[in-house]
């Protein structure tokens, strides 16, 4: 068996707006501030279970710049992630705590989080998908060489330039991914 066959495909998932409800203010999405404010969106657990059963690694890739901005603590973000890991069949969570001014390689739309996960978890980016609700998510997926799914909540912000499919939920995204790969 060649190296390519040994690599597993993944579904990379943004966190806020894909896994849990985003807090929308003025038409823009924001993360929940505390673990008690986290609401897992309807259909997420089932969609993740179906994708996992089909052999996909399930990896959350999330920007949490409020830590760099001093508006959120890393402990609060870690508590949210611990709850998600306890309640959902996730393989890993990769998080960027930087802001745009840091010019890091991990803040989406840069593909660093996806590439780090691919290296760490032996993932095949070319057979993987990025599911997100914002332009940064989709553009990170494109830059990493993944197929992309845009969950459109009609936020009052820039839309992604290109994506493979537009849907209204993670359940719809999972159905599309599985339809093409099973």
Q: Give how far the C-alpha of residue 81 lies from the chain's centroid of Cα atoms, to the nearest Å.
A: 13
Dihedral sign from CA coordinates of 75, 68, 24, 175: negative
Structure tokens at 74: 């890393």
Q: Which of 14, 124, 133, 137 is catalytic?
A: 14
Residue 129 contacts by C-beta under 8 Å, 6 or more apart in sequence?
9, 10, 11, 12, 56, 141, 146, 147, 148, 149, 173, 177
Q: Which of 16, 124, 133, 137 is catalytic?
A: 16
How many other C-beta atoms lie within 10 A of the C-beta of residue 135? 18
- Would residue 16 show up in a list of annotated catalytic residues for this protein? yes
- Would residue 66 show up in a list of annotated catalytic residues for this protein? no
Catalytic residues: 14, 16
């Amino acid at each position: 068996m060649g190296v390519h066959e040994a690599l597993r495909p993944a579904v990379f998932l943004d966190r806020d707006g894909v896994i849990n409800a985003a807090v929308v203010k003025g038409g823009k999405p924001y993360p929940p501030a505390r673990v008690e404010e986290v609401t897992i969106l309807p259909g997420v657990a089932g969609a993740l279970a179906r994708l996992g059963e089909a052999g996909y690694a399930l990896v959350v890739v999330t920007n949490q710049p409020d830590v760099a901005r001093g508006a959120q603590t890393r402990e609060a973000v870690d508590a949210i992630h611990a709850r998600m890991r306890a309640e959902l069949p996730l393989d890993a969570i990769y998080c960027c705590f930087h802001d745009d001014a840091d010019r890091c390689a991990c803040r989406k739309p840069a593909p660093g989080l996806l590439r780090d996960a691919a290296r760490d978890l032996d993932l095949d980016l070319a057979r993987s998908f990025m599911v997100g609700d914002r332009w940064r998510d989709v553009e990170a997926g494109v830059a990493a060489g993944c197929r992309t799914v845009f969950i459109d909540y009609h936020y009052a912000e820039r839309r992604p330039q290109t994506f493979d499919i537009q849907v209204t939920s993670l359940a719809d995204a999972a159905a599309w991914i599985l339809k093409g790969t099973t």
